[in-house]
Every structure is written in structure tokens, then in C-alpha cells.
Amino acid sequence: MDIQIIRCAPDRLKAKPADESKLGFGKIFTDHMFTVHYTEGRGWHDPVIGPYGPITLDPTAMSLHYGQEIFEGLKAYRGKDGSIYLFRPMENIKRMNASAERLCMATIDPELFMDAMKKLVLLERDWIPRGEGTSLYIRPTMIATESALGVHPSSQYLFFIIVGPVGAYYPEGFSPTKIYVCEDYVRAVRGGVGNCKNAGNYAASLYASQKAKAMGYTQVLWLDAIERQYVEEVGTSNAFFLFGDELFTPPLSGSILPGITRDSVIQLARSWGVKVTERAPSMTEIISGIADGKLKEAFASGTAAIVSPIGQIYYQGKEHVINGGKTGTLTERLYNEILQIQYGDKPDPFGWRMKISD
């Protein structure tokens, strides 16, 4: 399918951010966006890269009532020589389609998805920041657009991609986070939609996150919904715990988001000879591991930060400090290695990097 490109009028182009150290996350978007529509019986049609702007929906658009909304998150990186790279983009495409199937939404042709992403990033290449650790964030999204009330799968969808420059996650170096172990509320349950990037999961997480923030913690550590004992995720990231020489991360049991960074961490650590076990540690193991020093490092993984060290855990009224509140050696090594692969500074033995322009 050929993508029609409608360029923004020159006098409508936005001013690019002057200070790359103030980009932050999710505040700035570029001049263009990609859109394509789906109609039952007709399939996907009218793919366009056109001016960025509001979308019009009927008040009964089904995504607004019944939550058929899924998204993805990945980045485009500018190497020192000016090359532009994506990191494992096919994995995001596959995950978007897995989310679509679970939520009875239309799946999208991977080739069209990839083509749209590359063309949009290249059209907006001047927006890709140059500073260390900065990137162009890519947010593919799909919403149900059929105008009708009554719970049923929508017969129409809008898929769009927007992109925007984002700042370095650690402009002043690593800062280990304080996390709050949540026992009162859960993010997802096995058999539910916790393994999809579906909007409702994030709405469900807000209440506990707000409570954690009010108490001075950065993130919530989510426990399993049944026993409230086994670790699931940290905020919107996957969780890792280094006990002795063995790295543990919860298995993909259905309630956990299958993070692409999670998979990269597992593959890298294994390639270095680290034993990685997909098993969820219990809070009992974590607290006793902190007490007797067996728990050496803990970190969260995700596209935004790559890895985020955990320095402190609040559980049942007590503070527990991990590794003296400092970033662990393995955590830091994983961060540096993945960062350098993403920006083209290191060889890419796994074939994760996709160069989209010299």
C-alpha cells in the first residue's frame, strides 16, 4: 500500500526546541503524523502522512466507552556519524498485533506499519535530537472508531503514529529509585489484559501510583493479584533481581507486559555467562535477601530508561535499602551496553539495530 504524503505548509511548521536539555518526555510532538483507517469488509485503507493535528471522533466512538485502545512505544536514535537507527522495531509491531488480537481489534500489516514508521521518522529527521541519550520517541496507537453504543468489537479503527523528541533519561547520571510495594491494589491478573499495551491497564495503575508518590516513592512494585506475594512489575517496567550470581525476572505468565528491553537484558546477561531464571521472587525472599546481603542488585527495565536501578523498597511499614542505595555493577553494565548498541557505538551481535538512514 502506498502512503500518501501531505506536507505541512512551510509557514505552519513548528519551531524546533532550542534547548535539548529541557526536552523531558511526552511534551513535544513534530509537524506530521501517520494515519490509516480500517473498515470491516474493506480492510486498512487511505494511509497518509499528513500534518499533525486533532482527530475528530463521534461522541459514541467505541474506544471512548469500551476501552479498545492499544499503543506501542519505541525510539529512533541518532548515531554520532548522523546515522538513524531503530531498536528491534519488529518486536513492537508483533506486540501491537498481539495486543490487537487479545482486544478483538484489527491487526495491521507489519510491512505497512514498518514503512509508515520509517517514512515518518525520516520525514521528521531534523527533529531527532543530537545530545547524548536523547532520541525521537515513537508512539503508534490504535483506537476503535465505530459510532455505536453497546459492547461489541468495533467494526472500524484508526491507527496513527506520532513522534516527538525526548530528553536523556539520566542527564545527571544514575539515580536509584525508591519503590513502594503495593499490597492493596493490583495492576493485572492472569487471564486479563496485563500482557497488552492497553489503555485500561494504565488507568488501573494510577490510584496506587498516586499513593506511592504522595508517600515520597517514585514507583509502585506490583505483586501478583492472587497471593500478593510474588513480584510482577515495577511501574510500567519489568523487574529484575540479582540474588548472588543469578538474575531473576518474573516469567511471562499472562499478567506481565513482555518488555522488549526485558528480552534484551535476558539475552545480553546470558551472553555474558550470567545465569538468568524466569521466576518471580517472593517478597519474603526479597526482604530476607536484603537482610542477609544475597540480594545484590534490583532494577526495572523499559524503553524509556533502558534500566532503572532500585535503591530502596518500602514494604509493610519498613524501608529496605538495596546495595547501599547505589547502582549495581551488572545494572550499569547492562545500561551501557544496550545504550551503545542503540546509538551505533558498539557492534550489534544480536542484530537488534535497524539502520534506516546513513
Which residues bind to ligand PLP, rule: CB under 6 A? Answer: 73, 197, 233, 236-238, 257, 259-262, 301-303
Provide, rounded to whole angstroms, the least separation between the CB of residue 263 and ligand PLP.
8
Provide, rounded to whole angstroms, the least separation between the CB of residue 236 and ligand PLP.
4
Nearer to ligand PLP, 47 or 140 (CB): 140
* Grid cell for residue 101: 488480537
Provide, rounded to whole angstroms, the least separation between the CB of residue 91 and ligand PLP.
7
Nearer to ligand PLP, 250 or 281 (CB): 250
Q: How far apart are CA 166 and CA 27, in angstroms?
A: 8
Task: Supply the DSSP string of 153-192, one letter for each residue.
Answer: --SEEEEEEEEEEE--S-TTS--PEEEEEESS--S--TTS
Provide, rounded to whole angstroms, the least separation between the CB of residue 260 and ligand PLP.
4
Provide, rounded to whole angstroms, the least separation between the CB of residue 140 and ligand PLP.
12
Nearer to ligand PLP, 50 or 258 (CB): 258
Nearer to ligand PLP, 38 or 174 (CB): 174
Nearer to ligand PLP, 32 or 262 (CB): 262
Q: Find all residues with CB under 8 Å of 289, minimum gap 6, and list them.
A: 241, 243, 281, 295
User: How many residues does this entry show for the chain?
Assistant: 358
Return the axis-axis angle of helices 89-102 and 260-271, rounded to nearest 10°. Answer: 130
Please report the beta strands in the chain, taking only residues with DSSP state E, as ranges in sequence order: 4-5, 32-39, 43-51, 69-71, 74-78, 84-87, 135-144, 156-166, 177-182, 219-223, 231-234, 237-243, 246-249, 275-278, 295-302, 306-315, 318-321, 353-357
Provide, rounded to whole angstroms, the least separation between the CB of residue 187 and ligand PLP.
7
Nearer to ligand PLP, 73 or 153 (CB): 73
Strand partners, 159: 36, 142
Provide, rounded to whole angstroms, the least separation between the CB of residue 197 and ligand PLP.
5
DSSP character at residue 21: G
Nearer to ligand PLP, 135 or 303 (CB): 303
Q: Find all residues with CB under 8 Å of 15, minimum gap 6, and list them.
A: none
Q: How far apart are CA 243 and CA 322, in angstroms?
A: 11
Q: How far apart are CA 254 and CA 14, in angstroms?
A: 42
Provide, rounded to whole angstroms, the least separation between the CB of residue 86 and ligand PLP.
13
Nearer to ligand PLP, 50 or 133 (CB): 133
